[in-house]
Amino acid sequence: MTTSLHTRTWHLHIDLFEQDATTRAEAVLTTDAGTELRHVGVAHRRPGDRDVPEIGDELAACRALSGLVHDLLDATIADISANDPAGSEPVVPLG
Protein backbone atom coordinates (compact mmCIF):
# COMPACT_ATOMS: atom_id res chain seq x y z
CA MET A 1 0.00 0.00 0.00
CA THR A 2 1.38 3.41 -0.91
CA THR A 3 0.52 6.67 0.71
CA SER A 4 0.57 10.02 -0.99
CA LEU A 5 2.51 12.93 0.41
CA HIS A 6 0.79 16.31 0.53
CA THR A 7 2.94 19.37 0.99
CA ARG A 8 1.57 22.64 2.26
CA THR A 9 3.33 25.93 2.77
CA TRP A 10 2.41 28.42 5.46
CA HIS A 11 4.02 31.83 5.65
CA LEU A 12 5.03 33.64 8.82
CA HIS A 13 5.84 37.31 8.60
CA ILE A 14 7.05 39.50 11.46
CA ASP A 15 7.17 43.28 11.22
CA LEU A 16 9.04 45.23 13.91
CA PHE A 17 8.30 48.86 14.75
CA GLU A 18 10.48 50.87 17.11
CA GLN A 19 9.52 54.23 18.55
CA ASP A 20 11.45 55.80 21.39
CA ALA A 21 11.74 53.11 24.11
CA THR A 22 8.99 50.85 22.73
CA THR A 23 9.26 48.05 20.20
CA ARG A 24 6.14 46.49 18.69
CA ALA A 25 6.17 43.26 16.69
CA GLU A 26 3.30 42.06 14.56
CA ALA A 27 3.41 38.37 13.64
CA VAL A 28 1.16 37.23 10.80
CA LEU A 29 0.62 33.58 9.89
CA THR A 30 -1.02 32.89 6.53
CA THR A 31 -1.97 29.35 5.54
CA ASP A 32 -2.20 28.06 2.00
CA ALA A 33 -5.99 27.89 2.51
CA GLY A 34 -6.04 31.65 3.07
CA THR A 35 -6.51 31.63 6.83
CA GLU A 36 -4.71 34.51 8.49
CA LEU A 37 -3.87 34.87 12.17
CA ARG A 38 -2.07 37.86 13.62
CA HIS A 39 -0.82 38.83 17.04
CA VAL A 40 1.07 41.82 18.42
CA GLY A 41 3.80 41.78 21.05
CA VAL A 42 5.30 44.82 22.74
CA ALA A 43 8.55 45.44 24.61
CA HIS A 44 9.46 48.55 26.61
CA ARG A 45 12.98 49.66 27.45
CA ARG A 46 13.34 50.99 30.97
CA PRO A 47 14.87 54.48 31.35
CA GLY A 48 18.14 53.15 32.80
CA ASP A 49 18.63 50.36 30.25
CA ARG A 50 21.22 50.55 27.47
CA ASP A 51 19.83 51.10 23.97
CA VAL A 52 20.22 47.63 22.40
CA PRO A 53 17.55 47.38 19.67
CA GLU A 54 17.99 43.62 19.18
CA ILE A 55 16.77 42.96 22.74
CA GLY A 56 13.54 44.86 22.17
CA ASP A 57 13.10 43.14 18.79
CA GLU A 58 13.62 39.70 20.32
CA LEU A 59 11.28 40.27 23.25
CA ALA A 60 8.52 41.86 21.19
CA ALA A 61 8.80 39.08 18.58
CA CYS A 62 8.71 36.40 21.30
CA ARG A 63 5.56 37.92 22.76
CA ALA A 64 3.91 38.17 19.34
CA LEU A 65 4.82 34.57 18.45
CA SER A 66 3.71 33.26 21.84
CA GLY A 67 0.33 34.94 21.38
CA LEU A 68 0.12 33.60 17.85
CA VAL A 69 0.72 30.05 19.13
CA HIS A 70 -2.19 30.42 21.55
CA ASP A 71 -4.42 31.90 18.82
CA LEU A 72 -3.56 28.97 16.52
CA LEU A 73 -4.33 26.46 19.28
CA ASP A 74 -7.68 28.17 19.96
CA ALA A 75 -8.49 28.04 16.23
CA THR A 76 -7.54 24.35 16.12
CA ILE A 77 -9.76 23.52 19.10
CA ALA A 78 -12.65 25.45 17.52
CA ASP A 79 -12.17 23.56 14.22
CA ILE A 80 -12.07 20.19 16.02
CA SER A 81 -15.24 21.06 17.94
CA ALA A 82 -17.01 22.20 14.77
CA ASN A 83 -16.14 18.93 13.02
CA ASP A 84 -16.88 16.52 15.90
CA PRO A 85 -20.35 15.02 15.49
CA ALA A 86 -20.30 13.94 19.17
CA GLY A 87 -19.75 17.53 20.25
CA SER A 88 -17.22 16.55 22.91
CA GLU A 89 -14.70 19.03 24.30
CA PRO A 90 -11.35 18.35 22.57
CA VAL A 91 -8.18 17.89 24.56
CA VAL A 92 -5.18 19.07 22.56
CA PRO A 93 -1.91 18.95 24.50
CA LEU A 94 1.09 20.81 23.09
CA GLY A 95 4.31 18.92 22.77
| Residue % of the chain over a pLDDT of 90 | 72
- Structure confidence by residue, pLDDT tens digits, 54-80: 999 999 999 999 999 999 999 988 888
Residues 11-82: name the CATH superfamily.
Rv1738 (3.30.160.240)
Give the model's confidence band at 86: pLDDT under 50 very low, under 70 low, under 90 confident, else very high: confident
Per domain, the residue ranges of the chain are 11-82
What pTM, to 2 d.p., does this model score?
A: 0.84
Mean pLDDT of the chain: 91
- What does the alpha-carbon distance between residue 59 and residue 39 come to, in Å, rounded to a whole number? 14
What order do you get walking across the sheet with 11-19 strand by strand?
11-19, 22-30, 36-44
pLDDT given for residue 93 in this prediction: 73
